[in-house]
Amino acid sequence: MNQVAVVTGGGSGLGREMALALAAAGYDVLVTGRTEASLRDTVAIGKVKGYGVLDVNDGPAVRRFFGELDRIDVLVNNAGTGAPAAAVPDVSEEDWRRVIDTNLTGSFLCAQAAFARMLEQDPKGGRIINNGSISAHVPRPQSIAYTASKHAITGLTKQLELDGRPHGITACQIDIGNAATAMTERMEQGALQPDGSIAVEPTFDPKIVADFVVQIAQLPTSVAVPHLMVMASGMPYAGRG
């Protein structure tokens, strides 16, 4: 029986790359997202088994989706969003709640539902991989909602790892810096730096991230990888702030 992997936000970008790589490695992969056409494209491109249209911050829908799975061996919590750059006084409550609801609450709801399924299945256990960010360590200017959400992912991952320990459930956070997707196109045109300047930043092939996800997913659950950071060489990280 093939192992089952779920990738949230699997309709494009990093999520699509992760889903395709897991499918190529032999997993039965299901992708979720809010846009059905994009999910269909992911399924059509590779060996992805299927999809579910899902808003990750809709708790009943999340529980329903995971409750219908026979088992889940790997959850990749990839769904996320950002907000327009804004000084702290100018951040709208709507933008704040949207980012926190998707990046943090959505990751929790999916992890919670997957955790419950992993406890019930035979054999029990599995792996949860959370998409963090360099912003989980050091912020970019004018990005308070995104930064707060990604710092919180670190706490979520640590707690999942601790509470999953007796049950063969492990958790990993991958902090990614400037993988070349639609989300990082602005880096290649110039991004705001802490000193107020605009600078072009290097990016790297997102397939490299997908390969790391496969490597972590294939490890036995007796091995934990609590944290992994992968970023474009030369991007502002060390010394950022």
Q: Is the dihedral of CA 152, 154, 157, 158 positive or negative?
A: negative
Phi, psi of 36 (to 5 degrees): -60, -40
- Look at the block and give the residue holding tokens 């943090």: 104
The strand order across the sheet containing 169-177 reads 50-53, 28-33, 4-8, 74-77, 126-131, 169-177, 227-231
Element (H, E) at 145: helix 144-164
Q: Which two tokens stand for residue 44?
A: 């059509």
Instruction: Point out which residues pair with 77 in neighbouring strands.
Output: 130
Query: Could you give the angle at the alpha carbon of 111 between the alpha carbons of 106 and 117, nearest 5°?
Result: 135
Neighbour tally for 185: CB within 10 Å: 10
31 and 7 Cβ atoms separated by less than 8 Å: yes
**Annotated catalytic residue 146:** yes
Which residue numbers are catalytic?
146
